[in-house]
Amino acid sequence: MDRLELKIPPVLVVALVASAMWGVARMTIGLDPAPWLRIGLAALLLITGAWLAVAGVIEFRRASTTVNPMAPGDSSTVVDSGVYRYTRNPMYLGFVFVLLAWAVWLAAPWTLLGPAAFVAWMNRFQILPEERALVDRFGDDYRAYRERVRRWV
């Protein structure tokens, strides 16, 4: 399983999970919420997710470090400003919100397994290897940041 570490781009994982969620929604019984509630909640979650992801990219750009999730060892600094004061993974957290928005839009309870599966995959195959690479690269600076700021929220 270690061969999967840092191999699948997170955006592709989101697309695969979203596709699976769509399939699950088509095969299971859905809910019938009021359209205004479904659309409103989905929009709120989508906007929140997009904001988190973009805010994370902006902070990485300000720090002149890589946004390539496949090469965490190429990072030039530990980014701890902006949204990174509250979460170590705002881009991934943003993706979770986007998947939650998709689940609300699909209105099928079983689709909520999608965001949970995404978090499990990311923790094991993306975030843990990233954290190892960042400890190797930045040592105590990254360890101190990791102690101050939670992985997700």
Q: What is the pTM of this model?
A: 0.97
Residue 71: how many CA atoms within 13 Å on its side-chain side? 7
3-class SS shares of the chain: helix, strand, coil, % to 5: 75, 0, 25
Mean pLDDT along residues 76-93: 98
Query: What is the Cα–Cα distance from 20 to 113, expressed in whole angstroms?
Result: 10
Domain ranges of the chain: 8-24+34-148
Q: What is the mean pLDDT of the chain?
A: 97
Residue-wise pLDDT for 37-60, tens only, equals 999 999 999 999 999 999 999 999
Q: What is the pLDDT of residue 129?
A: 98
Q: What are the structure tokens assigned to 47, written together?
A: 């906007």
Q: What are the structure tokens assigned to 69, written together?
A: 């999730």
- 111, 37 Cβ separation under 8 angstroms: no
Residue-wise pLDDT for 113-132, tens only, equals 999 999 999 999 999 999 99
3-class secondary-structure state, position 97: helix
Query: What is the Cα–Cα distance from 43 to 26, expressed in whole angstroms?
Result: 21
